[in-house]
Structure 1
Amino acid sequence: MTGQGRFVGDLELARMRQVAFVRSPVAHALITSVDTAAAREAGYRVFTGADFAAVALRAQSALPSYVETAQPVLAHTKVRFAGEAVAAVVAADRYRAEDGAELVEVDYHPLPVTVCAWADPTQHPGAAVHDEAPNNVLLERTFDAGSVDRALAAADVVVRRELITNRHGGNPMECRAGVALWQPADRALTFWSSTQVPHLVRNMIAELLELPEGNVRVIAPDVGGGFGVKAVLYPEDVALCLIAKAMPNVPVKWVEDRVEHLATATHARDHRYLLEAGFAADGTLLALKADVTCNVGAYSVYPWTAGIEPLMAGGLLCGPYRLDNYRATVRGVATNTAPSGPYRGVARPSTVFAMETMMDEGARTLGISGVDIRRRNLIKPEHIPYKMPSRLVDDSGHYEECLLKAMDAVGYQELRAEQQRRRETGDGLPLGIGIACYNELTGLGRAASAGPRMPFRTGHEACTVRVNPDGGVTVFSGVTSQGQGQETVIAQIVADGLGVGYDDVEVRMGDTETSLWGFGAFSSRQAVIAGGAAHNTTVVVREKLLALAAGLLEAAVDDLEVSGGQVRVVGDPGSWISVAEVARVAYLESNRLPEGIEPGLEATRFYDPIRGAFAAGAQVAAVEVDRVTGELRVLRWACVEDPGRTLNPQIVHGQIAGSIAQGIGGAVYEHLVYDEAGNLVTGTLLDYLMPTSAEIPELIIDHVEHPAANPLGVRGVGEGGTLGPNAVLAGAVSDALGVRIDTLPLTPGSIWKESR
């Protein structure tokens, strides 16, 4: 905000060269030749897939049905989606590199193209994206609990729906970017990257380039947003590092433009749900059967695999509702589109839309209200801990409280009265109210790892807290920040715990050489896990600080308190010592150390919450719809979530507001559309619409606070806001017009068509 940020794009090094990628204009084809002669004769350094053919990314999973496939650094035998990189050109600047890329001639032999993951495969014989998966299914799993068929047969009402959610992506303010530098004298590779997971990037780059991991340094400077899109190791990242090795002591840089981002960064949310739900006459949900297909694109991305969306969909489809009988078959299907990967909320904006649609459909069929059917089925505090059908354990149960508070905040009864008045008098546009209840699984520990049985288990994080000889505090954390204020929160935790000023704490993260090993930023985990590690470490340092101060003051530890940078004897205002003086003794005056206390004043601790913490949430909104133009206008929007203990209200509010805005964008505006030939037809911001501040309504954001069972009592809030808007807006339009909304996004054209 003040212009002091330093992003990868700001990095300028001596002798730096820039890279432009030659990208396939076709979605599926054999590469018959790559002619680089003209580019080389013009003085460009050119790399093709043949140069890096021995290196490929392979996302691994131990799931029995998973089909492992390779993702080349540069395509060299065939291309699998339009935009895939087939060559790289190096020049003094990006403009010249783009000119050189135009001189590279690539010949393609077209192959059959598949774009829709649930299309009949017999319509396109020979359209296998990978030879290892002739039917294009890279993963399939069935979640099964209870007796679904028996429960459906006994139900008073059975409702069925087919729902489709739209493909879109993260679009962070800063697109992907990287700078790689190889220094052969030290056998050292430095890679500056706008990544959310610097240590995971270092791990795989070291493996692919056959380097000791200690010889690879990954630095994530300021990151202009990530949203999961930057939690992936991309072929372009590896290509930069390989190019750097081929050009010793020359930094090579690539900054993605927006067209490249829309076409080649990971996409998400391209799902179809075939649903069948059985209800008792009083609205009790008896059974849910689902068949879920997720379009995972051309490749299984590293490290999260093609399973990240389908498995999340199956694991959390039933959301915050009690359910004994559940069967969901989920699959990830490869197509000739950009790869799918993690994106804020991972699958759950789609699953919440699916589940809330079924609740509304059940209520409509039974003739009861949507509020009543939700309240009857929500997990409540007396059910906690609640074992979900997918075996996840919900530790929240405060969904009804969130729902009722959101209804009060939005003025639900008043809105219903206004809706009735408009219907009776015909005065005013149709008004509809939409509701979404959801559970956000945050701070995933090793028992509920963020990845689908990958070779590593996400869960723990580490933190080092060091009180320096001058009394200042340096904190080293294993997580990284993507612009959400993580440094602020960790500094608060440590400052509060040590009793020093916030400005006396410096937090270092995002550099694999100077920060601790950690998994990074994803899955709403930083406050829960990194905060927990910071808290636990601070407790240890505080204990040593007080023990040392007690010896210096000749007082009992239990009689001491620390605040404002001073350690005081309770009840004796004249007996105190500054934290800086205690620290000086710890490092510089060991002769004054009390017996049994070692020099130094620092500690390192790890924290793993094991299961994580569920955060309850509810959103309620009212919209009015113009039948003539298909436009909708949000009148009111309320969101109530349970963040547990709120560490920084401003950051919590900002995270929720930002995620709701992102959810509204996905529900109404954003849509990555491919034609039958696999061409992206919404490939610029002229075609791919994104909301601005003008399109986002004033938001009423409130909280309930029920501390979680972790050191700080916190629950994550990074993704919850994205989970509601699909369901809220679809439900509101359905309520306003009396129609069924089966397909997203809710464009004016689709609303106009539904209202005819």
Structure 2
Amino acid sequence: MTAIDDRAAAAPHRGQSLRRKEDPRLITGRASYTDDLNITGQLHAAIVRSPEAHAKIVSIDTSAALERDDVVAVYTGEDMADLLGPLPMAWVPPGVDVQNPPHWPLARGTVKHVGDPVAIVLSEDRGAAIDGAEDVFVEYEPLPVCMDIETALEDGAALTHPEIGTNKCHEWSLGGGDIEAGFAAADVIVERRVVNHRVSGAPIEPRGVLADYRAGALTLHTSTQVPHFVRLFAALILGINEEKIRVIAPEVGGGFGAKLQVTGEEMLCSWASRKSGRPVKWIETRSEHMAVCHHGRDQVATVRLGATKDGRLTAIHSKILADMGAYLMLLTPAVPSLGAFVMSGVYDIPAVQTDITTVFTNKCATDAIRGAGRPEATHMIEVCMDQLADELGMDRLELRRKNFIPKDDFPHETALGIVYDSGNYEGALDLLMEKLDLPALEAEKAELAAKGIRRGIGYSTYTEICGLAPSRITGPEGFGLQTGLWESAIVRVTVTGNVVVYTGTSPHGQGHETTMAQIVADKLGVDPAQVEIMHGDTGTGAMGLGTYGSRTTAVGTEAVARAADKVVEKARSIVSHLLEAAPEDIEVHDGKFSVKGSPDKGLALAEVSGVAHVQPEKMPQGMEPGLEETSFYDPENFVFPFGAHACIVDVEEDTGKVKVVRYVAIDDCGPAINPMVIDGQVHGGIAQAIGQALYEHVMYDDTGQLVTGTFVDYALPTAAELPSFETDRTETPSPVNSLGVKGIGEAGTIAATPAVVNAVIDALKPLGVTYMNMPLGPEAVWTAIQEAGQ
């Protein structure tokens, strides 16, 4: 047998595109979301929100609302004086002064952005709560607004927080190598202003909260990616013993980072339930979500990229100005810094420097949205690589290949001191080229140009840092997150031989119930249908830090695998004792724990578990009954997926309309567990990035009013705007974990925006357009064509 045959025999379910275990309940309408849950006696909440972007709260008159027979209670920020602290911000980097004005669940004294909450109205009927909220009269005294990050630090700019005397939140830098020497050695330097505009996570389900405080204990149902974080901060803010709080994430309906948060609404509903003595339910409307659920991106960067005349990169320097919005949420100031760790991308660049300045404005806060800092970094690198190729008169792919980190140079330490675990960038690009017929594309270009359609092709070769966990790096003494980012898992074999897995991660659509079951089933010699994955409930099972940063497979599933390995070892000991064989001679084969060379001599997992639970006297002396193990996993390093993407677009000269004709993605996330799940994650990421590149843009006017408050104004791509994506993969195992796996959930979002933008610029070069920033809507493209022609 070959090594591949051996692996397939040992792990028959791994690498198979099994149908997702979670899908039947989702596609038949049998899943339970927060809005599906109700508790006897519950009250519905409506939140009164500010129409002003920046204003002093002169007065709040609740009398008309309280006079209504259908309103039970109205609370304002002044009623919440018993909170032990404001909403959390969890990034405190050593030696960096981060301005963090208090952010309360209900505004106190002033409002800082449109949608800032000022009161909560409770009623037994949701419609009545909304009507009651309209009867709360707030008098505001408008204050000057700050809306432009590029002028926010100028003298005389309006201050979002006058008490701190500046709009600057913090400064942070990361560098390696001699940046000045790098640019001195360059024959060509390109400098571009790279804009990564503000976007919304826009999950299919907005947020929802159902809080039930009774007899000193709180049960909180919430659509969150981080139930254990919510429990921790609810204890700290509300002053409730952590063990008296149970946080449950039902079906989440998509997160994309928008639900990687400890929200004011969660704390507000929990406090209101304690205050009123009744359960409190709040369901976010879509317009609320667009206005007050944190946004992503919103950076303007000045990027300099240097190279010798033969195309060897010498230095890259990015100066990033990032919009924090009005408040700092859980990870707000940390997000721009996440991209700095991979600012050299897939290239061997001897000098790398990133300088970040963050700015307060009178907008909704930004925070992590799918990719969180790494899409921005990849966009900077990859659009500038195309710009540099043009300056050098060099083929874009030749420039990339010349600077790839060689596949035999892994693990590779970058100029920043970051150690990339494994990679084969040349191999991914080679496979991409196999999928593309470049001569045919060039021939089509000429034919289409005669019809007023310009065809272009864009590339993106990327790596990302994910598997967010290593506490020694990310924790308080390292990057500055005020927590370790380990994961834990419990694997329990029942008396009848079924397997229950408790994971501390909290998936919300990625397919982890299926992929985890495949891993555990192969280790224990059972069918994946026998493996139940339990998650999202702090009251049962394992502790965990949640799902984000493409960490669930590389960290959470590794913890599951290690717990399963412990179960296997115990089962081997039991079987070896019963069969009078050495433990090392017991193998899992064809669903049995059997003696090597004697497949008929063995026990199925159910038989082993039966002994462990029903007849423990037959187990080795001193061994505890039961068949259950726990594992905590804190990796030594991140993992670094990579890939090569190509986008082909057609641009109409007369209208500026961009059509994505074809999209090909080659990704490497290590050995595949379930190829279908990988494809699904890549599809979703690409769609999200194409949306940002061409359609999506959260916009405010000069007075701070949100212009894109609904899906009528905020354009999401539909199936009509997108081609069928072509995906394939290479497999380069990571040495960081036993599974060899890396993350994939954010890959498409990270790779696709520069591929799209580079394709549009390639299409427009014959018309004189050499550079553009997103979003590339028809008006922007048409204007660029006209200006180039003039």
Taking structure 2 as the reference length, the TM-score comes to 0.92
Residue 695 (str. 1) matches residue 726 (str. 2):
no
Match in the other structure for 2:376: 350
| Residue 9 (structure 2) aligns with | none
Distance 1:661 1:258, change over 3 A: same
Is 2:77 the counterpart of 1:49?
A: yes
1:258 CA displacement:
0.5
Instruction: Provide the residue aligned with 1:295 in structure 2.
Output: 323
More displaced 10-residue stretch of structure 1: 659-668 or 130-139: 130-139
Equivalence for 2:143:
111
Q: Map 1:660-739; keep pairs closer than 5 Å.
A: 660-709=686-735, 710-738=737-765, 739=769
One-letter amino acid of the structure 2 residue matched with residue 147 of structure 1: D
- Matching residue of 2:16: none
C-alpha change, 1:119 and 1:742, in structure 2 (3 Å) is: farther
For the 8 Å contact 1:267–1:338, the answer to whether it is kept is yes
Gaps of 5+ in 1: none
> Paired residue for 1:611?
637
Distance 1:448 1:364 in 2: 38
Match for residue 528 of structure 1 among 554, 564, 585: 554
Question: Alignment identity in percent?
Answer: 37
Q: 2:497 aligns with which of 448, 471, 474?
A: 471
Question: Residue 619 of structure 2 aligns with which residue?
Answer: 593
Over 3 Å counting, the alpha-carbon distance change for 1:664 and 1:450 in structure 2 is farther
| 1:165 pairs with one of 196, 200, 203 | 196
- Verify the 8 A CA contact 1:60 1:68 in the aligned structure 2: no
For the pair 1:213 / 2:242, whether they are aligned, the reply is: yes
Larger displacement relative to structure 2 (80-89 or 353-362): 353-362
Contact 1:113 1:124 in 2 (8 A): no
* Structure 2 residue 773 is the aligned partner of structure 1 residue 743: yes
1:11 aligns to 2:37 (yes or no)? yes
Q: 1:132 to 1:437 in 2, by over 3 A?
A: farther
1:274 aligns with 2:298: no
Checking the alignment, whether the CA contact within 8 Å between 1:553 and 1:577 is kept in structure 2 is: no
2:419 pairs, out of 393, 403, 406, with 393
Which residue does the alignment assign to 1:367? 393
The one-character-per-residue Cα deviations of 1:128-183 (angstroms, maximum 9, x if unpaired) are 22245422111211223222223323321121111212211111111111100000
Following superposition, the deviation at residue 610 of structure 1 comes to 2.0
Partner of 1:228: 257
Q: CA deviation at 1:454?
A: 4.1
Task: Check the 8 A contact 2:114/2:291 in 1, yes or no.
Answer: yes
Distance 1:114 1:622, change over 3 A: same
Q: Is the 8 A contact 1:501 1:564 kept in 2?
A: no
Asked whether the 8 Å contact 1:314–1:330 carries over to 2, the reply is no
- Tell me how far 1:93 sits from its aligned partner: 2.2
Structure 1 residues 191 and 673, CA gap change in structure 2 (3 angstroms): same
Matched-pair contact (CA < 8 Å) for 2:152–2:359: no
Matched, 1:434 2:454: no
CA 1:588–1:272: 2 relative to 1, 3 Å: same
Determine if the alignment matches structure 1 residue 559 to structure 2 residue 585: yes
Shift in Å, 1:255: 0.8
User: Does 2:177 align with 1:146?
Assistant: yes
Query: Aligned-pair distance for 1:501?
Result: 1.6
Shift of 1:54: 4.8
Distance 1:743 1:695, change over 3 A: same
What is the match of residue 253 of structure 1?
Answer: 281
**What residue in structure 1 maps to residue 540 of structure 2?**
514
Change (3 A) 1:420 1:24: same
Contact 2:589–2:599 (8 Å) recurs in 1: no
Give CA deviations for 1:530-579 in whole Å, capped at 9, x if unaligned.
11111111111111112112222233333333345433334445433232
C-alpha distance in 2 between matches for 1:121 and 1:569:
72
The Cα shift of 1:312 comes to: 1.8
SS at match of 1:178: strand
Please tell me whether the aligned partners of residues 500 and 563 of structure 1 are also in contact (alpha carbons under 8 angstroms). Answer: no
Match of 2:273 in 1: 244
Q: Could you tell me how far apart the structure 1 residues matched to 2:369 and 2:664 are?
A: 23
Q: Is the 8 A contact 2:339 2:375 kept in 1?
A: no
In structure 1, which of residues 493, 501, 511 is the aligned counterpart of residue 519 of structure 2? 493
Please name the residue that 1:77 is paired with: 109
Distance in 2, matches of 1:558 and 1:336, equals 65
CA distance in 2, matches of 1:707, 1:298: 42
Letter in 1 for 2:751: G
Which amino acid in 1 is paired with 2:706? L
Match of 2:165 in 1: 134
Q: Quote the Cα distance in structure 2 between the aligned partners of 1:67 and 1:132.
A: 11
Report the AA paired with residue 132 of structure 2: G
Question: Structure 1 stretch 317-326 or stretch 2-11: which is displaced more?
Answer: 317-326
Distance 1:203-1:157 versus aligned 2 partners, 3 A rule: same
The answer to whether the aligner puts 1:632 opposite 2:632 as a matched pair is no
Give the superposition deviation at 1:599. 1.2
Aligned partner of residue 720 in structure 2, secondary structure:
coil
Q: Secondary structure at the match of 1:167?
A: strand
Tell me how far 1:723 sits from its aligned partner: 1.1
Measured against aligned partners, the alpha-carbon deviations of 1:295-340 in whole angstroms (never above 9, x if no partner) come to: 11111102x1x32222123333332221112222112211100000
| Shift in alpha-carbon separation, 1:22–1:564, aligned structure 2, 3 A | farther
1:330-349 to structure 2, matched below 5 A, reads 330-349=356-375
Secondary structure in 2 matching 1:430: strand
Verify: 1:502 aligned to 2:528, yes or no.
Answer: yes
> What one-letter code is carried by the residue in structure 1 that aligns with 2:203?
P
- Matched residue pairs, number? 748
Relative to 1, partners in 2 of residues 1:420 and 1:403: Cα closer, same or farther, differing over 3 Å?
farther
- SS of residue paired to 1:495: helix
Contact residue 174 and residue 223 of structure 1 kept, 8 A = yes
CA distance in structure 2 between the partners assigned to 1:454 and 1:205 by the alignment: 21
Higher mean C-alpha deviation, range 83-92 or range 738-747: 738-747
Amino acid across the alignment from 2:311: G
Deviations 1:19-59 (A, max 9, x none): 01000001001111011011111142101011114531141
Residues of 2 paired with 1:316 and 1:242: CA distance?
A: 41
Contact 2:182–2:350 (Cα < 8 Å) also in 1 = no
Cα-Cα RMSD: 1.8
Aligned partners of 1:19 and 1:207: how far apart in 2? 23
Native 8 Å contact 2:87 2:103 kept in 1: yes
Q: What is aligned with 2:602?
A: 576
Does structure 1 residue 449 correspond to structure 2 residue 478?
no
Code of the residue aligned with 2:276 in structure 1: it is M
Are the aligned partners of 2:342 and 2:464 in contact in 1 as well (CA < 8 Å)?
A: no
2:313 to 285, 308, 312: 285
Shift of 1:515: 2.2
Q: Which amino acid aligns with 2:127?
A: Y
Q: Determine the C-alpha separation between the residues in 1 that align with 2:725 and 2:197.
A: 24
The answer to which of 277-286 and 739-748 deviates more is 739-748
Distance 2:170 2:153 in 1: 16
